[in-house]
Amino acid sequence: MMSTTEIMYCILGMCIVSYIPRALPPFILARVSLSPVVERWLRYVPTSIFGALVFSEIFINGDHLNLSLNNINLLASLIVLVVSLKTKSLAKSIVTGILVYWILTNFI
């Protein structure tokens, strides 16, 4: 059993280890001038990561790829895509996604 002091040191250590990788890049990159190509490439990183997270959640069920219409995530995403393209409204898309997913999981 760990004492309270050991737990506090452990939490402090985890904070430091978690903070360093987040704090160092701005300090390092502030002194370095990046080329326009690298800056343009870096602008796509957040979108790429978000896309990878979303698409893996939509298309992968369990441990296999599911492209059938039995895939509730895919069906809800297709409906949200249509609403999003027609309305161009983030709020309507989010509400539609929540409602469609809830209906598909509870009633179908």
Confidence at residue 8, expressed as pLDDT on a 0 to 100 scale: 96
pLDDT tens digit sequence for 96-105: 999 999 999 9
In the three-class reduction of DSSP (H, G, I as helix; E, B as strand; rest coil), residue 103 is classed as helix
Provide the H-helix boundaries in the chain: 4-31, 36-43, 45-59, 72-87, 90-107
pTM over 0.75: no
